[in-house]
Structure 1
């Protein structure tokens, strides 16, 4: 039986993901949401460390467009804001730094696990993709947010996104679910009926709205509309398809 675990941040990835074949990184506002939007356009995405002075040189070396900070992005710039991906013509490759999801993805991938990016936009697709793998152990990691002092803030939106993946995978097959993963699934169930409202009302959502990035929250709230699964291949996230419905969805009634 497949084992399913949950953890918070980099330390959680190191603990829950220590023996995982697949690590699912969830950073809803905004790394993994931006990642899903980017791979939908066909772009490859290079995750990179935040505030690293080598980013521009590395982007140039890899023929990638460097995503700048959200607050300094001008017209035509791509940033951590998913809205900027949609506002600009598609590009083949993006270097996307972030302090949380990107860093966790890089360090986890370096240990040999298969890293997948999940958000509220694509959680069912991620679960279907995992269900077709031979992974014996899966760790779902809520990235959280870094406070100014470097400590971790447990971000509700990442807990909900992780819980959505866990709930979908548990519905797809028999899995050995840890108590921590059960808590994440319960948190998702508590807001499942109105996720967009919860996302706009949570601390991270309010912060982005107050900063003038309400559209980023709107995109993150496109619940389960994305079929793309970003998978870290080498040092690049590449979109894979999960468009085929597995048997556990076949019996569900179609929505009007």
Structure 2
């Protein structure tokens, strides 16, 4: 029962992390900067993996999509690839987790289901690592440009999407580790139970065949076919001639 509850907790954490990671790609504010020209007019510049926009105080936004993928900066291309990989790995991990959980009726034997659940945990861990690397790489670029005195272009700060991505990455890592731990504990319990049952059956068979123990120094009584009379009749004086 405890293994099933552990698997459910790991699945819930991993799925929530995957949902947050998936929503990070479509979130607008990966980096944001505000410029106050007057008390009334304020322009907000923000950007994500797909476009850069400016929004005025009236709520009107003017966006410009990134024209060419090959002309983008290297860190944006890397973040795109890592986030897409994180979403794909989380999707397949959720399917494998459903198959490998004890509370489902598919997946085969308990041993095979434990292996599938462990594989799902590893997949979620890889998804969390990809998302964590992408968000950290993007944040590193923002902070490097912000604290660089030689950088004269528009400087940005960390957006809300990065924090959502970090939260989803942590949930994926925790959930994947929980799934792996539950699978390992399941295999250990089954192996220990097999050894215990085998030892008990062996002890039972040995006792039933050997019978009660005899005190030390007491010889077992001879069987009827080897009694003294039969022994004398079989080995008489003519036996040595």
Q: Structure 1 length normalisation: TM-score?
A: 0.27
Q: Structure 2 length normalisation: TM-score?
A: 0.28
Structure number with higher strand proportion: 1
Larger radius of gyration: 2
Higher relative contact order (CA 8 A, sep 6+): 1
